[in-house]
Amino acid sequence: MSLFTPTSEAEVAQLVADLALTGKPVTIQGGATRAGFGRPIQTGATISTKAISGITLHEPAELVIAARGGTTVAEIEAVLAAKNQMLPFEPMDHRALFGTSGEPTIGGVVAGNHSGPRRIQAGACRDSLIGVRLVNGRGEAIKSGGRVMKNVTGLDLAKLVTGSWGTLGLLTEVTFKVLPRPERSLTLLIKNLDDARAAAALSAALGSPFEPTAAAHLPAGLSRPVARTILRLEGFSVSLEYRIAQLRALLAGFGEIIVLEGEDSSGLWRGIRDVEFLAAPEDAAIWRISTAPTRAPGMVAGIAAAVPGARWFYDWGGGLVWLAVPPGGDAGATTVRAAVATAGGHATLVRGPREVRARIDVFQPLGALAAVTGGIKTSFDPGRIFEPGRMYAGM
């Protein structure tokens, strides 16, 4: 097993060109905090992005930041925080779920399109990403997008590579639009709703003009005995007081609203973002399902009836389901896939035993898009050297 630590994009390009000549498959490693994600694969070589690091541009007045792929998320967030700014999409940190200890990198965030609770209001990682530089499987350094917010010049390859898990190339630089940090952030909490009532409450709030920036539901028994339905409001203080009053009136039929602030509020959303509530027991298999919010409770009820011991919670206004199931058998795959086929949407086995991930579809099966997906992989990486099989068998 060889480990390469190139220090520049040019070195990455040369290295990949050499590997491509010998057809030697390679794994890309950022902070290794998500090492257990995807289908298990064996490659003879690893490229670490550790030495391709550093912020290359931050123009606070233009709301833009760029950094090399191996830059830690922590460094980027610290630099933004110093100017009272933030990444809009609240990237998820997988360390709690995987029990890992490295530092997540921004390249890894883009590779997985990792977005947190604010996704419903500010968009996903792919929506904030305005430019990339990457080295494709031919060893060519290419760019897509740039550093300006509105750009429709040519095909949007930046979005295409977001969430492709390194299978299309190694990200050497990424550029984001950023947002000002809100002056104040707080949480509205309603207790004791069942899943269906919670979904209705979240839909009512998100369909109101009062713009929650996050909306989640934690069923009873998930770290607390009572169910918690929560909404986050962010903005200028005067505005929030008004919105609290309006939402109290709008949601009066769902129960009393309690206001949480400070760590009581931010800690809750961090726990949701990072799926801390389902991290233990550490051998539980974890599924991530995106569907339409109103269909989620029925889908989950069907899965729960078929898989004893299932636990779950909802983010993204009810449309994102995090589901923990016992790791035995196929880790619930057959049931989950059937339920998602009925409800619409997609499911990913985020955490599960290696041998299970080796024999089931970890990512949502491609169906009619398989041929086009394979063609795109080949167009970037004809020798299939980047992360072969990480997402889909044979690709």
Partner 1 sequence: MSAIAFPAPDLSIIRRRPEILAGLAALVPAEALITAEDELRPYESDALTAFRKMPLAVVLPSTTEEVAAVLKFCSQAGVPVVPRGAGTSLVGGSTPQEDAVVIGVAKMSRILNIDYANRTARVQAGVTNLAITGAVQADGFFYAPDPSSQLACSIGGNIAMNSGGAHCLKYGVTTNNILGLKLVLLNGDVVEIGGDHLDMPGFDMLGLLIGSEGQLGIVTEATVRILRAAEGARPVLFGFPKPELAGEAVAAIIGAGIIPVAMEYMDKMAIAICEDFAKAGYPMDAEALLIIEVEGSEQEMDDQLVRIIEIAKRHGVTTVRESKSAMETAAIWKGRKSAFGATGKIADYICMDGTIPTGQLPYVLKRIDELVTHYGLRVANVFHAGDGNLHPLVLYDISDPVERQKAEDCGLDILRLCVEVGGCLTGEHGVGVEKRDLMTVQFNKADLDQQMRVRAVFDPAWLLNPAKVFPLEGRVAA
State which of positions 62-101 bind partner 1 (CB under 8 A): 62-64, 84
DSSP 168-214: S-EEEEEEEE-EEPPSEEEEEEEES--HHHHHHHHHHHHTSTT--SE
Would you give the binding string for partner 1 spanning residues 145-164, x where CB under 8 A is met? -xxxxxxxxxxxxxxx-xxx
Gap between the Cα atoms of 314 and 190, Å rounded: 14
Residue closer to partner 1, measured from CB, 32 or 303? 303
Residue closer to partner 1, measured from CB, 278 or 321? 321
Q: Does 181 bind partner 1 (CB under 8 A)?
A: yes
Residue closer to partner 1, measured from CB, 102 or 123? 123
Residue closer to partner 1, measured from CB, 50 or 177? 177
First to last CA, the chain: 21
Query: Smallest distance, Å, CB 147 to partner 1?
Result: 6
Query: Smallest distance, Å, CB 135 to partner 1?
Result: 10
- Residue 392's Cβ-count burial label (10 Å; 0-12, 13-18, 19+) is buried
The set of long-range contacts for 153-158, using a CB threshold of 8 Å and a minimum separation of 24, is 157/132, 158/126, 158/129, 158/130, 158/131, 158/132
Would you give the binding string for partner 1 spanning residues 103-122, x where CB under 8 A is met? ----------x-x---xx--
328 CB contacts (<8 Å, ≥6 apart)?
none
Q: Which listed residue (5, 14, 46, 203) binds partner 1 by CB under 8 A?
A: 203
Gap between the Cα atoms of 69 and 9, Å rounded: 10
Residues 19-58 that bind partner 1 (CB under 8 A): none
DSSP 105-154: BHHHHHHHT---TTHHHH--HHHHEEEEEEE-TTS-EEEEE-SSS---SS
Would you give the binding string for partner 1 spanning residues 231-270, x where CB under 8 A is met? -----x-xx--x----------------------------
- Residue 63 carries which DSSP code? T
Residues 213-232 that bind partner 1 (CB under 8 A): none
Q: Which listed residue (33, 105, 136, 172) binds partner 1 by CB under 8 A?
A: 136
Query: Smallest distance, Å, CB 345 to partner 1?
Result: 4
Residues 332-371 that bind partner 1 (CB under 8 A): 344-346, 348, 363-364, 366, 368-369
Are the beta carbons of 230 and 215 closer than 8 angstroms? yes
Q: Does 290 bind partner 1 (CB under 8 A)?
A: yes
Residue closer to partner 1, measured from CB, 72 or 229? 229
